[in-house]
Amino acid sequence: MLFRYGSAVTGKFFYDRSDIQKKISSLLVGGQSFMLKAPRRYGKTSLLKNVLQTKKFDYFYADFRKTPRLELFNNKLLEYLYSKMGIKGALKQLQENAVSFLLTHKTTVKVTLPLFEASVELFGGAVMKEDERMVQILDLIEQTAKELDETFYIVLDEFQDVKKLSGVETADILEMMRGTMQQHENVCYMFAGSHMTLMTEIFENRKSPFFNFCRKFVLDGFDIDELKQELVKAFKSKEIVFESDELLLNLLHKLKGHPANTMLVMQLLESLITEEDIKLISDLLIQKAYDEAREEMNDLISEYIKEIKTKEHLHDVIYRMASGERQILDANSLRQKRAYLIDMGYIRRKERGVYEIIDGFLEDNLLMI
């Protein structure tokens, strides 16, 4: 199989993105923290994981969308800290008996004894608020990195959801995080998120603690020319060719460089051609793969439309975008509706005054009335 669809992809299943990979790669080498925002299913997680793996950097990864409580994040961080100190499965041992944990590992641990002892003292039973515990763990991670003379890499995915964690007692967890992270010279933080507006609010609003904290990137769709060449090459490795380059190019344009949708169509194309035991991809086959992909995405698209309908006028605004009809709302209301649609990840601003629907399948679906 040449293509993967669903969760994050790396290695041979990772396509395109050479420019941003280079940029990120040099930031990682310099230990420079950064944030990456992009709509859902655009390949943020894949990009970060792939660059880190390509550089063979070991890293910590947490996804705040999937994490219900701060305590769980802290425990994961702690496990990572101890793994860097050379201890596997530390948390369980620590919870069972902190003293014997200390005795068992004090001679083999990779850091100096005072640092190891400080870590155990902090977590061997002391009652502490989870947000304070987070700060302490992050500081210990920095100290460990410093002692080991290494850069540590920490990926905080869907970072905008950090405020939704339960167990956060401090009014501004962001303030607390920034306070500690800004002092860290040996940890490279990577923040990713799909909620465009919240990410902008966190990293670009002057009043936010993370304002000017790090470099910022917006991940666009695939670069169609680069991707086209790679796809031709991938199919060729199985002796499969397109009837014409133009066919592939048109398809990629129709998919608008949407990474997940594009990969789904490619995978279906590969299955169809294998099933039919042929080597030439025709226009008809492309049409079939595209329709199958859209069919497969139907439930998700219905969910999208349901969500769009939860706010007044949004459905008609986006419908008019799809059909090319003139918008009828006054300028202020239209601005507000577009802002909602951007927040929800359905449209994006291409340039001043020009917006486009991100997902081609959604666009098709809107027009099927």
Ligand X SMILES: Nc1ncnc2c1ncn2[C@@H]1O[C@H](COP(=O)(O)OP(=O)(O)OP(=O)(O)O)[C@@H](O)[C@H]1O
User: Which of ligand X, Mg ion, none lies near 16, with the C-beta cut-off 5 to 8 A by kind?
Assistant: ligand X
Of the two residues 45 and 119, which places its CB atom closer to Mg ion in the complex?
A: 45
Report what 345 binds from Mg ion, ligand X, none; CB cut-off 5-8 Å by kind.
none
Interacting residues with ligand X (CB under 6 A): 4-9, 13-17, 38, 40-46, 194, 259-260, 263
Minimal distance, residue 30 CB to ligand X, in Å: 23
Q: Which does 315 bind (CB under 5 to 8 A by kind): Mg ion, ligand X, none?
A: none
Closest distance between ligand X and the C-beta of residue 244, in Å? 23
Nearer to ligand X, 90 or 289 (CB): 289
Q: Which is nearer to ligand X, 87 or 231 (CB)?
A: 231
**Which residue's Cβ has the minimum distance to ligand X?**
43
Question: What is the distance between the alpha carbons of residues 347 and 201, in angstroms, rounded to a whole number?
Answer: 18
Q: Which does 285 bind (CB under 5 to 8 A by kind): Mg ion, ligand X, none?
A: none
Instruction: Find the shortest distance in angstroms from Cβ 98 to ligand X.
Output: 37
Task: Give the angle 219-225-226 at the CA atoms, nearest 5°.
Answer: 65
Look-up of token digits 């439930």: 299
Q: Which does 319 bind (CB under 5 to 8 A by kind): ligand X, Mg ion, none?
A: none
- Please state, in angstroms and as integers, the Cα–Cα distance from residue 55 to each residue in 31, 34, 163, 192, 220, following that order: 13, 17, 31, 19, 22
Residue 46 binding partner per list Mg ion, ligand X, none, with a CB distance cut-off of 5 to 8 Å that depends on partner kind: ligand X
What are all long-range contacts of 170-174, with beta carbons under 8 Å and residues at least 24 apart? 170/129, 170/131, 172/209, 173/70, 173/131, 174/202, 174/208, 174/209, 174/210
- Of 136 and 194, nearer to ligand X (C-beta) is 194
Closer of 41 and 105 to Mg ion (Cβ): 41
Phi, psi torsion values for 249, nearest 5 degrees: -60, -45
Return the number of the residue (154 or 285) whose C-beta is nearest Mg ion: 154
C-beta atoms surrounding 195 within 10 Å: 20
The least CB distance from residue 310 to ligand X, in Å, is 20
Angle at 245 between CA 243 and CA 248, to 5 degrees: 90
Answer whether 318's CB lies under 8 Å from 341's CB. Answer: yes
Beta strands in the chain (DSSP E): 34-37, 59-63, 152-157, 187-193, 215-218, 241-242, 280-281, 347-351, 354-357
Classify 348 as helix, strand or coil: strand
Choose among Mg ion, ligand X, none what residue 340 binds, the Cβ cut-off being 5 to 8 Å by kind: none
Report the length, in residues, of the chain. 369
Partner that binds at residue 217, options ligand X, Mg ion, none, CB closer than 5 to 8 Å by kind: none
Integer Cα distance of 314 and 310 in angstroms:
8
Rounded Cα distance between 162 and 166, Å, is 9
CB of 253 to ligand X, least distance (A): 17
Q: What is the nearest approach in angstroms of ligand X to the Cβ of residue 349?
A: 18
34 vs 101, beta carbon nearer ligand X: 34
CA distance 66 to 199: 17
Alpha-carbon gap, residue 304 to 339, rounded angstroms: 16
Residue list 36-75, contact with Mg ion (CB under 5 A): 45
State the Cα–Cα distance between residues 274 and 259, nearest whole angstrom: 23
Return the one option of ligand X, Mg ion, none that residue 260 interacts with (CB less than 5 to 8 A, by type).
Answer: ligand X
- Of the pair 141, 193, the CB lying nearest ligand X is at 193
Number of shown-chain residues binding Mg ion (CB under 5 A) = 1
Closest CB 157 distance from Mg ion, rounded Å:
6
CB of 72 to ligand X, least distance (A): 18
DSSP 346: S
In the bound state with ligand X, the residue whose beta carbon lies nearer, of 51 and 145, is 51
Shortest distance (Å) from residue 300 CB to Mg ion: 15
Contacting residues toward Mg ion, per CB under 5 A: 45
